[in-house]
Amino acid sequence: MELFHLVASLFQQPATMELTRMGVVYAHLIACCVAIGMVLTSDIAMIKQLFQGRDSTAADKEHLHALKQTVLLSLAALWVTGIGIVALDYSQKGAVYFLNPKLQAKILVVALLTLNGWVLHSVVMPAMDKAGSLLKLDINARNLALFSGVVSGVSWFYGAMLGIARPLSWKYSLSDIMFAYPVLICLGFAAMTLLVKWAANRTTTQVPARMNPALASW
């Protein structure tokens, strides 16, 4: 009991609380940076592959599965450390802390990111494994894959922005803070749809030439 009271009294010290919060925020930041780095490099590689007209390889599939595991772990770490930050701040500020629209926006984005992650890992990735590549998916599955991918990318970057956006606290409503979120998703989805359609048409026109070299010389 004496040890418990000693630990409890230690955590009641402002300096201890500040250092604890700093450590949890640092872990939160690292988890976010790892996931964003993996998602960004994966998206760039996919876009480059579409521009070059290359198909997926075994190495691409291995990278996709490694990405899946890393992002899942990062998302789990994000939830654990995020709950830790919220608990520490709640202990200092009380229930009014949850009325902050910026906090509500961040929780909403992370919740949507988690739901979208489930769709990606349970529906999209198995379909891509079966089809072999994004371009070989049927139109509905391809649109779902593109939409989920865009939501993932936008959500990670939007959540990171909200994490460092202290000036937004208590100054704007939830709708104001979230206004750009669906706009970015729509723009990203439209851009990726056009890119994939262009890549698919390019691949289709290149196939006959590869099958019949005589036609390519005309």
Say how far residue 196 (Cα) sits from the centre of its chain. Answer: 20
C-beta of residue 75 within 8 angstroms of C-beta of residue 114? yes
Report the distance separating Cα 181 and Cα 159, nearest Å: 10
Instruction: Name every residue whose Cβ is closer than 8 Å to that of residue 82 and which is 6 or more positions away in sequence.
Output: 28, 106, 110
Does residue 37 register a pLDDT over 70? Answer: yes
Does residue 88 register a pLDDT over 80? Answer: yes
Domain ranges of the chain: 15-201
C-beta of residue 143 within 8 angstroms of C-beta of residue 175? no
Question: What's the pLDDT score for residue 217?
Answer: 40
Question: What's the pLDDT score for residue 61?
Answer: 59
Question: What's the pLDDT score for residue 24?
Answer: 86
Report the distance separating Cα 63 and Cα 48, nearest Å: 15
Question: What's the pLDDT score for residue 189?
Answer: 92
Does residue 5 register a pLDDT over 60? Answer: no
Task: State the pLDDT confidence band at 7, using cuts at 50, 70 and 90.
Answer: very low
Report the distance separating Cα 66 and Cα 57, nearest Å: 14
C-beta of residue 103 within 8 angstroms of C-beta of residue 174? no
More confident residue, 78 or 15: 78
Work out the angle between the directed axes of helices 14-52 and 180-211 (0-180°, nearest 10).
Answer: 30
Amino acid 15 reads: A
Question: What's the pLDDT score for residue 216?
Answer: 42
More confident residue, 66 or 158: 158
Question: What's the pLDDT score for residue 214?
Answer: 46
Which ranges constitute the DSSP H helices of the chain?
A: 2-11, 14-52, 58-93, 101-119, 125-131, 139-164, 174-178, 180-211, 213-216
Report the distance separating Cα 59 and Cα 78, nearest Å: 28
> Could you report the per-residue pLDDT of 180-204, keeping only the tens digit for each?
999 999 999 999 888 888 877 776 6
Does residue 2 register a pLDDT over 60? Answer: no
> Could you report the per-residue pLDDT of 115-154, keeping only the tens digit for each?
998 888 888 888 877 877 777 778 888 888 889 889 988 9
- Quick one: CA torsion of 142, 147, 149, 154, rounded to 10 degrees? 160
pLDDT, average across residues 168-179: 89
CA–CA distance from 36 to each of 41, 92, 100, 108, 184 (Å)? 8, 30, 25, 18, 16
